[in-house]
Amino acid sequence: NWEPIKGDITFEDVTFHYPDGNENILEHFNLHVPAGTTVAIVGETGAGKSTLVNLACRFFEPTQGRILIDGVDYRERSQSWLHSALGYVLQSPHLFTGTIMENIRYGKLEATDEEVIEAAKIVSADQVAKRLEKGWQTDVGEGGDSMSTGEKQLISFARAVLADPAIFVLDEATSSIDTETEQLIQNAISYLLKDRTSFIIAHRLSTIRQADVILVVKAGKIIEQGTHDEL
Ligand code: ATP
Ligand code: MG
């Protein structure tokens, strides 16, 4: 019965170490992201980019300090409160055993076939189905094994479009993707960044340029912050 989430996110003096690690990855970290902002996170490997996103998504919770969503400490609400307003595409996107259609519908179980196809078209994921003999009814294999990384990402983007979340998280794939699929993915990203709060762990310059703010992270700290033109 809560108000729909708008997507204003605040890290308030957040210190964090993983449950199985004793080293703090973040210490007294502060960040305010107004609703609708696209934040690109860049930095070298191990800098803490995925950790920031893990905390924002509540895959892990702060050891000290608070994370506020629309001004509310997310630990005061259920996991599903945040997760129903959250869409994400991770570096090695996870698909479920089942068909392409089922995998996209996972973002909104009540969607009709027409709605699923419409969402897929927006991010060109229909191109994936078109190339295959069984089309939308193609089995993606165990965990999506019979799809390429690019195809898995397009299917995941379609799932996010259908779900239309207030908060969208993308950990961009670094693995090689063919030029044609690459173009489709860039279009999909542009669509998904509009009108929602987005955290993008960015490798593509094209994505970084679209961000309202770029955070350069090093050893769990923001060392630079600004727009693409400023940095
Ligand atoms: P990359 O560009 O390689 O993805 P990153 O900036 O995303 O790097 P993180 O994954 O946030 O870096 O890792 C930051 C630190 O936290 C690293 O020292 C890493 O070893 C550690 N770490 C990451 N995930 C875990 C985990 N699940 N358990 C314990 N330590 C972790
Ligand atoms: Mg990472």
Tens digits of residue pLDDT in 109-133: 999 999 999 999 999 999 999 999 9
- The answer to whether residue 203 scores a pLDDT higher than 90 is no
Q: Is the Cα torsion angle 130, 108, 191, 9 positive or negative in sign? A: negative
* Predicted local confidence at residue 58, as pLDDT: 96
How many structural domains is the chain composed of? 2
171 and 153 fall within a common domain: no
138 and 181 fall within a common domain: no
Model confidence at 1, pLDDT cuts 50, 70, 90, reads confident
Pocket test for ligand 1, best of 16, 17, 18 (most atoms within 8 A of CB): 18
Give the residue from 144, 163, 182 where a domain finishes. 163
Predicted confidence (pLDDT) per residue in 128-144, tens digit:
999 999 999 999 998 88
Residue 30 belongs to domain with CATH number? 3.40.50.300
The residue contributing the CA closest to ligand 1 atom 27 is 18
Q: Please say whether the beta carbons of 206 and 186 come within 8 A.
A: yes
Task: Give Cβ neighbours of residue 220 (< 8 Å, ≥ 6 apart).
Answer: 24, 25, 26, 27, 29, 47, 48, 51
d(CA 128, CA 120): 9
Between the CA of residue 84 and those of 71, 80, 95, what are the distances in Å? 17, 6, 18
- Cα of 215 vs centre of ligand 2, distance in Å, is 14
Tell me if 114 is assigned to some domain: yes
- Closest ligand 1 atom number to CA of residue 21: 29
- Closest ligand 1 atom number to CA of residue 48: 11
Average pLDDT, the chain: 92
Task: Give Cβ neighbours of residue 194 (< 8 Å, ≥ 6 apart).
Answer: none
In this prediction the ipTM stands at 0.98
- Cα of 47 vs centre of ligand 1, distance in Å, is 7
60 and 24 fall within a common domain: yes
- Closest ligand 1 atom number to CA of residue 217: 6
- Closest ligand 1 atom number to CA of residue 51: 11
Give the residue from 163, 180, 200 where a domain finishes. 163
Record the pTM. 0.91
Model confidence at 66, pLDDT cuts 50, 70, 90, reads very high
- Pocket residues for ligand 1 (CB within 6 Å)? 18, 20-21, 25, 43, 45-51
Tell me if 91 is assigned to some domain: no
Tell me if 41 is assigned to some domain: yes
149 and 209 fall within a common domain: no
Model confidence at 175, pLDDT cuts 50, 70, 90, reads low
Count of beta carbons in the 10 Å neighbourhood of residue 130 = 10
Mean pLDDT of 57-70: 97
- Closest ligand 1 atom number to CA of residue 43: 6
114 and 174 fall within a common domain: no
Phi, psi of 46 (to 5 degrees): 80, 5
Residue of 175 and 201 predicted with greater confidence: 201
Tell me if 20 is assigned to some domain: yes
75 and 174 fall within a common domain: yes
Mean pLDDT of 204-231: 89
Q: Which ligand is nearest to the CA of 54?
A: 1
Tell me if 43 is assigned to some domain: yes
Q: Which ligand is nearest to the CA of 216?
A: 1
Pocket test for ligand 1, best of 15, 20, 44, 49 (most atoms within 8 A of CB): 49
Percentage of the chain lying above the pLDDT 90 cut? 73
48 and 105 fall within a common domain: no
Tell me if 90 is assigned to some domain: no
Predicted confidence (pLDDT) per residue in 74-89, tens digit:
999 999 999 999 999 8
81 and 181 fall within a common domain: yes
* Predicted local confidence at residue 187, as pLDDT: 87
Give the residue from 163, 183, 198 where a domain finishes. 163
Q: Please say whether the beta carbons of 83 and 3 come within 8 A.
A: no
169 and 184 fall within a common domain: yes
- Cα of 150 vs centre of ligand 2, distance in Å, is 18
- Cα of 174 vs centre of ligand 2, distance in Å, is 11
Q: Strands (DSSP E) along the chain, which ranges?
A: 9-16, 26-33, 38-42, 64-69, 72-73, 86-89, 167-171, 197-201, 213-218, 221-226
DSSP β-bridge partners for residue 198: 38, 168
225 and 117 fall within a common domain: no
Q: What domain range is 173 assigned to?
A: 1-85+165-231
125 and 213 fall within a common domain: no
The residue contributing the CA closest to ligand 1 atom 30 is 18
24 and 126 fall within a common domain: no
Q: Tokens 């709060």 belong to which residue?
A: 197
